[in-house]
């Protein structure tokens, strides 16, 4: 019998489901040193929580996160709440000696993020932030190719994350499902929600950013607030675009919006190096596009690598070569890496400290948009 690793999940929304599925799958497909146990699910709303707990097979429920983090039979706290609760819960859970997995973005801002990093490091507890796209096999392969030097010196990085679900002015802000539109709960709009993913991947693949120059827009200025029933000012950014310079000298542009009609979750990036380029698209997530100038001239061209072979990252754990996997598997990979990191002593990334670098860029973007100046992230 493997030792159990008991998970206490806080929240039951979209991410609560994505993470629960990952905990359920990880031991079935990866040979891990601990057995993940869905010990308790926690939220204030009793009925939906009960239904969530039964559906995913949680052993118990709790209505108060403070009671949950004190439980001796819970080892890991998974924070799937709106962003404004991340810091308070994480800091309290660290003080109880719990390992912490936190949904992205780490915090509302860098100040909060730094307090969270201090708390987990002082307590010496394992910690990780759910930037799941790093573990889509094609993205992990991109990292491998870059680290092997296949691209050579990198000149350009461009990324975008486009959605279209908030175009209607009738859509309210706030409350379950719509807290992402409420600045008090989310901290920012597409910057913290979507660009955070693009930035996490970018820093991972291409190193730190030296400076950013951003613009943001809030297209719908007022929306009914679900919690007050009143029409209130919208405080989030609906769209954000920024130029950036990486410390390694490469130039970047990033764009994100929830107003790109026709696009639901189009996360793409392209990187151009001296020898080769790579491109990736979330809507075709198992493929990595690769162009290598060193190929023989007459057959030189973009290759579309179907990242499904046994020697591709993570794929040996799934089906047979050629059969692809999807979005949810990136979370399963993250759980597997986290558990393996506990045993090996080499923590899975991104840790809170890694995610603080992304948070610093988010702060710099918002500051740049407000001041119309280039801003250097405070790393």
Q: What residues are paired with 75 via a beta bridge?
A: none
Question: Is 200 among the residues that bind ligand SOE (CB under 6 A)?
Answer: no
In 124-267, alpha helices (H) = 137-147, 183-186, 190, 196-206
Residue nearer to ligand SOE on the CB measure, 163 or 332: 163
Q: Residue 182, Cβ neighbours under 10 Å: how many?
A: 24
Distance CA 169, CA 344 (A): 50
- Considering beta carbons, is residue 119 or 138 the nearer one to ligand SOE? 138
Minimum Å gap between C-beta 102 and ligand SOE is 13
Our CB check for ligand SOE shows the closer of 177 and 229 to be: 177
> Which is nearer to ligand SOE, 187 or 273 (by Cβ)?
187
Residue 265 binds ligand SOE (CB under 6 A): yes
Chain residues 319-358 in contact with ligand SOE, contact rule CB under 6 A: none
The nearer residue to ligand SOE, 25 or 257, going by C-beta atoms, is 257
User: Which residue(s) pair with 249 in the sheet?
Assistant: none
Place of tokens 């009960």: 50
Footprint of ligand SOE on residues 8-27 (CB under 6 A)?
Answer: 14
Q: What is the DSSP string of 132-176?
A: GGGGSHHHHHHHHHHHTTTT-SEEEEEEEEE--TT--TT--BSST
Q: Are strands 222-224 and 209-217 parallel, antiparallel or unpaired?
A: unpaired
Q: Which residue is nearest to ligand SOE (CB)?
A: 193
Helix axes 14-29, 46-56, angle to 10 degrees: 20
Spell out, one character per residue from 128 to 167, where the chain touches ligand SOE: x when CB under 6 A holds, - when not: -----------------------------------x----
- Least Å distance between CB 296 and ligand SOE? 39
Least distance in angstroms from the C-beta of 268 to ligand SOE: 13
Spell out the alpha helix ranges (H) of 208-351. Answer: 327-344
Q: What is the separation, in whole angstroms, between the first and last Cα of the chain?
A: 44
- The answer to whether residue 193 forms part of the interface with ligand SOE (CB under 6 A) is yes
Which burial class, exposed, middle or buried, applies to 306 when counting CB atoms under 10 A from its CB (0-12, 13-18, 19+)? middle
Closest separation between CB of residue 168 and ligand SOE, Å?
Answer: 15
Closest separation in Å from C-beta 146 to ligand SOE? 22
CB of 239 to ligand SOE, least distance (A): 14
Q: Which is nearer to ligand SOE, 192 or 377 (CB)?
A: 192
Measuring CA to CA, which residue among 111, 37, 98 is closest to residue 66?
98
Of the two residues 132 and 308, which places its CB atom closer to ligand SOE in the complex? 132
CA distance 330 to 335: 9
Nearest approach, Cβ of 75 to ligand SOE (angstroms)?
25
| Residue 27 or 81 having the CB closest to ligand SOE | 81
Separation of alpha carbons 127 and 112, rounded Å: 16
Minimum Å gap between C-beta 128 and ligand SOE is 15
- Contact residues toward ligand SOE (CB under 6 A) are 14, 163, 193, 197, 265
């Amino acid at each position: 019998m493997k030792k159990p690793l008991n998970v206490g999940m806080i929240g039951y929304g979209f991410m609560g489901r994505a993470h629960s599925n990952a905990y359920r799958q990880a031991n079935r497909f990866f040979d891990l040193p601990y057995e993940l146990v869905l010990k308790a699910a926690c939220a204030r709303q009793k009925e939906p929580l009960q239904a969530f707990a039964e559906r995913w097979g949680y052993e118990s429920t709790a209505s108060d996160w403070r009671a949950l983090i004190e439980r001796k039979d819970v080892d890991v706290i998974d924070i799937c709440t709106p962003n404004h609760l991340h810091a308070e819960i994480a800091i309290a859970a660290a003080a109880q000696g719990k390992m912490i997995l936190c949904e992205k973005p780490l915090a509302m801002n860098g100040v909060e993020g730094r307090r969270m990093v201090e708390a987990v490091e002082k307590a010496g507890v394992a910690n990780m932030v759910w930037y799941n796209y790093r573990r889509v096999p094609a993205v992990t392969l991109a990292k491998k190719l870059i680290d092997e030097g296949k691209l050579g010196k990198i000149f350009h990085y461009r990324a975008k994350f486009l959605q279209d679900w908030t175009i209607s002015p009738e859509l309210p802000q706030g409350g379950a499902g719509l807290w992402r539109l409420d600045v008090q709960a989310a901290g920012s709009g597409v910057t913290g929600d979507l660009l955070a993913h693009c930035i996490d991947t970018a820093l991972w693949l291409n190193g730190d950013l030296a400076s950013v120059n951003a613009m943001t827009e809030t297209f719908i200025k007022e929306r009914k607030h679900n919690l007050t029933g009143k029409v209130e000012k919208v405080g989030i950014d609906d769209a954000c675009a920024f130029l950036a310079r990486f410390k390694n000298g490469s130039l970047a542009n990033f764009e994100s919006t929830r107003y790109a009609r026709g696009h639901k979750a189009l996360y793409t990036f392209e990187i151009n190096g001296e020898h080769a380029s790579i491109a990736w698209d979330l809507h075709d997530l198992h493929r990595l596009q690769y162009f290598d100038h060193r190929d023989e001239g007459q057959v030189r061209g973009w290759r579309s690598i179907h990242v499904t072979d046994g020697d591709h990252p993570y794929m040996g754990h799934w089906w047979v070569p050629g059969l692809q996997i999807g979005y949810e598997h990136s979370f399963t990979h993250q759980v597997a890496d986290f558990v393996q990191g506990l045993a090996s002593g080499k923590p899975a990334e991104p840790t809170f400290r890694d995610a603080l670098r992304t948070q610093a860029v988010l702060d710099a973007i918002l500051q740049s948009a407000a001041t119309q100046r280039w801003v250097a992230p405070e790393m």
